[in-house]
Amino acid sequence: MVSKPMRAALLIFFFEKMAERLHFNTGMAYESMLAAEHLARYWLLRDVCKGKRVLDVACGEGYGSSLLRRWGASSVVGVDISEDAIANAVEKFGVEGISYRLGDASKLGGTLADEEKFDLIACFETMEHVQDVLGLLRGLRDHLAPRGIIAISCPNDSEVMGDQPNEFHLRRYTFAEFQAATTAVLGGAEQWLLGTPVIGFGVCDLNDRWAQGMGSDLSNMLQGTDAVSSRFLPAQIGHEISAQKAHFYVGVWGDQLPRSLIAAPIAYRAYVGPWNSWVAAREENERLLAEQARQDERHAAAMAQQARELDAGRPQLPQRNQEIQQLESEIGAYKTQVASERSARLVMASKLHERNVQHQQLTENLRWLGQRAAELESAQRITDDMRRAADEALRAVTSRGYRAVQCYYRLYEHGATRWFMRPARRLAAAVRRVLK
């Protein structure tokens, strides 16, 4: 069993070795695993393409079309939606008998004439890239000659990519979805094939140039030689291949195709190094799983001990519940008492506040009364001073003026002087009344 982190790391490693398209004019380096994965699909058609008119849909830069022509196809038409790919195909693999055309795989009617029919149609790793899958499949069907062969492949992204998305793919297909989509238009297939990596050994000649290495140029993938004798061995336990574990699926209509096997030599240490790392990782994974199992056992023992302690304490639960209820009752009474005391404190605080307000008002009143008393006392002193001054002035006036008036009054009363004293009499009477 492989842990998820280790599986994710392996998927990332293998995905970095994969590529959506092989680029022959950009200095892309030759990778034997990548080359084998791309060539294995075309190798299915090697023995059936001889003398046939072949359509290579989504041909990329044309290496597959070139191989089909080299293997004996009478003519090959390669179609791709990329202008750069078609230009590179014409430059790198443009030979007599091959026609490269720019066009949309899902709209072959716009690229091919209605009367153009083909004995063999290859459509590899294309379905996942197009929006109109029905248009793609109907185009393949409409341009297939009677008794022709169609071979379609589709990647198993769930196995290849895991949870990592592929930015170039519009959707993923399970094997069942791949079957359902293709057979809905093309009918039942004659054959279903699974693409998978292989592991094994080979025997090559000491003088085989391709075994000694031919540099890093990508075009070296088209070199090599055929092995007269080859064989598939049974998969060992744990490495079994199924539709769910395959790297890609292939459906074939019109005939059955022979199995293909593409392999490249690898130095022994380079071969066993990753394998030894895998074994070491598997052993480490097993060790971690065993340690996790021991931890689970210790955890289970601790849980069992806790369960026993709970069982032992269960008879005491009624008494503990009563104690809890009593404590809750006491807490409730204490809360009520605290609330009552708090309410009383609030009332007392309110009264204290009122008294403080009243005390402040009384203090202000007393201060005002004190100010008024001081003002009245000052006014009283001023009044007394004015009264004394008035009295002194009155006494002075009375002592002199009163005697003069009395004199005038007696002259007025005298008979000899009354006749001219009448006006003075009235004035003197008025002054006398006032002074009295």
User: What is the model's pLDDT at position 220?
Assistant: 74
Q: Average pLDDT of the chain?
A: 84
Q: How far apart are CA 125 and CA 102, in angstroms?
A: 18
DSSP state for residue 166 in the 8-state scheme: -
Model confidence at 10, pLDDT cuts 50, 70, 90, reads very low
User: What is the model's pLDDT at position 250?
Assistant: 96
More confident residue, 428 or 62: 62
CA neighbor of 200 nearest in space, from 167, 236, 175: 236
pLDDT digits 0-9 by tens, 129-172 = 999 999 999 999 999 999 999 999 999 887 776 667 777 787 88
pLDDT digits 0-9 by tens, 274-317 = 777 877 888 888 899 999 999 999 989 998 888 888 888 778 77
Model confidence at 383, pLDDT cuts 50, 70, 90, reads confident
Domain ranges of the chain: 4-266, 317-388
On the question of pLDDT at 364 being above 70, the answer is yes
| CA distances to 65, 311, 319 from 315, in Å | 84, 8, 8
Predicted TM-score of the model (pTM): 0.61
Q: How far apart are CA 301 and CA 293, in angstroms?
A: 12
User: What is the model's pLDDT at position 409?
Assistant: 64
Q: Which of 117-121, 366-370, 423-427 has the highest mean pLDDT?
A: 117-121
User: What is the model's pLDDT at position 101?
Assistant: 97
On the question of pLDDT at 62 being above 70, the answer is yes
Pick from 6-20, 171-185, 245-259, 417-431: least confident? 6-20
On the question of pLDDT at 332 being above 60, the answer is yes
User: What is the model's pLDDT at position 223?
Assistant: 82
The position carrying tokens 């090599």 is 224
Q: How far apart are CA 89 and CA 95, in angstroms?
A: 10
CA neighbor of 76 nearest in space, from 47, 58, 106, 100: 100
CA neighbor of 20 nearest in space, from 150, 220, 176, 170: 170
| CA distances to 203, 239, 240 from 234, in Å | 19, 10, 8
User: What is the model's pLDDT at position 384?
Assistant: 83
User: What is the model's pLDDT at position 399?
Assistant: 65
More confident residue, 177 or 170: 177
Tell me which fold the domain 4-266 belongs to: Rossmann fold (3.40.50)
On the question of pLDDT at 265 being above 90, the answer is no
Q: How many residues does the chain have?
A: 436
